[in-house]
Structure 1
């Protein structure tokens, strides 16, 4: 199999696996009240349409070369990157239904599913093969490997210690978001476009081409939204913990 074929299989398989895991977890997490079977089906169906539609739109756009920019041209991939983040973050923060869904999903799952971030190690392989600039591959590849490995460790620690290890979840989320921000910044700086600032001798062309364009167009915004969901769940849990028990409140009335 060619290098492009291997990249295609890895990228598509990772994307499809994450979509499947999200839908399976939703179906499992919404089994308990107040969710009815009808509510659960409606949520799963809605998420199926959104996630699969988003993935297909990103894949087809990447296949058609919509994210490629020549030197001197403005990049276009930022629209695929930031639009779902803005919409998704707004829904997480403002939608009561999304809030209830986040409450139902275990924190350790929100963390553990990001073990798939180890896919970023492929950037280091491509750098070693002379196909990707080090200014992007080193921070993005090592950061993703670290965050992916720690995702499994932190998920297990939280499951065993719950709120005792909530600070670990917070720190891991900060690390994960920092990794993605650095990857996005170095990706823009090293890719051919009007804003390219480095790696002129070895421009980061692959990240704007199919299949790797799915990383910034689908996987990165999905990872960021999962981080936001995890942090939101931590905040909501802390707010609940600060509320006095009903009996205590009544005793002071």
Structure 2
């Protein structure tokens, strides 16, 4: 049941990002194709039998998302939906805690360990609420700092996750390693969900900088 719910959450990330970036069909298809490829390899047990291949998958994820950013950074973006994406990180953290209870990831990767990402999720809801009444809040230095911290939080979590996995560079979680990201469907977390969250932050930062200069078009018009 948890696997089905996680697949639904992954699809939700992909679809909301599609509507947030101006309905770019190329980006949608590339995300779906990558999810199918990573998901298939995880389902067939390729990563769990050879964890080194998962590192290659992560490198491919970085290259793919660098390409996606080039395709969408100049499109008309929806601020509200980009913030909604960040709010979904609260749900992601609940999944991670459930995986910890199932002994599939170490405690270090949860909000009871070194993962503070749930705070970014809750604060995005606050920004979304304030934005509905005070549009200029997204021009503030606080919003810019929040996005940088959100990216840093994701990088830290992913780094802990990789270094807790049963790979040659493992440094943490030897008593309860991170095997979840090597199996289906949780391999989609670092290869689909996290990259979308990072891209959403980058796009929000691009808009933040543009808004402070008064040059960016958003779903609410030119500001």
Q: TM-score range by the shorter chain?
A: 0.7 to 0.9
Equivalent residue for 2:107, pick from 134, 154, 168: 134
SS in 2 for 1:17: helix
Q: Are 1:65 and 2:45 an aligned pair? A: yes
Residue equivalent to 1:169: 143
Kindly provide the CA deviation profile for residues 203-253 of structure 1, in whole angstroms up to 9, marking residues without a partner as x. 111222112111012111121111111111212222336xxxxxxxxxxxx
Q: Sort the Cα spacing of 1:126 and 1:23 in 2 relative to 1 into closer, same or farther, 3 A.
A: closer
Q: Are 1:208 and 2:188 an aligned pair? A: no
Under a length normalisation based on structure 1, what TM-score does the superposition of the two structures give?
Answer: 0.73
Kindly provide the CA deviation profile for residues 94-145 of structure 1, in whole angstroms up to 9, marking residues without a partner as x. 55xx3331xx223232122221112222222332444421122346785232
The alignment of Structure 1 onto Structure 2 pairs a total of residues equal to 214
Residue equivalent to 1:234: 208
Q: Are 1:46 and 2:38 an aligned pair? A: no
Structure with larger Rg:
1
Alignment of 1:15-94 (within 5 A): 15-25=10-20, 44-68=24-48, 75-89=52-66, 92=69, 94=70
Deviation at 1:80, TM superposition (A): 2.7
Residue equivalent to 1:108: 80
Higher helix share: 1
Deviation at 1:69, TM superposition (A): 5.7
Kindly provide the CA deviation profile for residues 163-188 of structure 1, in whole angstroms up to 9, marking residues without a partner as x. 33433322221222122111111112
Q: Distance in 2 between matches of 1:171 and 1:138?
A: 21
Under a length normalisation based on structure 2, what TM-score does the superposition of the two structures give?
Answer: 0.81
Q: Distance in 2 between matches of 1:85 and 1:237?
A: 27
The unaligned stretches of length 5 or more in structure 1 are 30-42, 242-253
Cα RMSD for the two superposed structures:
2.7
Equivalent residue for 1:152, pick from 118, 121, 125: 125
SS in 2 for 1:186: helix
Q: Distance in 2 between matches of 1:179 and 1:139?
A: 15
Q: Distance in 2 between matches of 1:111 and 1:85?
A: 22
Q: Distance in 1 between matches of 2:61 and 2:164?
A: 23
Instruction: Confirm or deny: 8 A CA contact 1:120 1:145 kept in the other structure.
Output: yes
Q: Distance in 1 between matches of 2:127 and 2:192?
A: 24
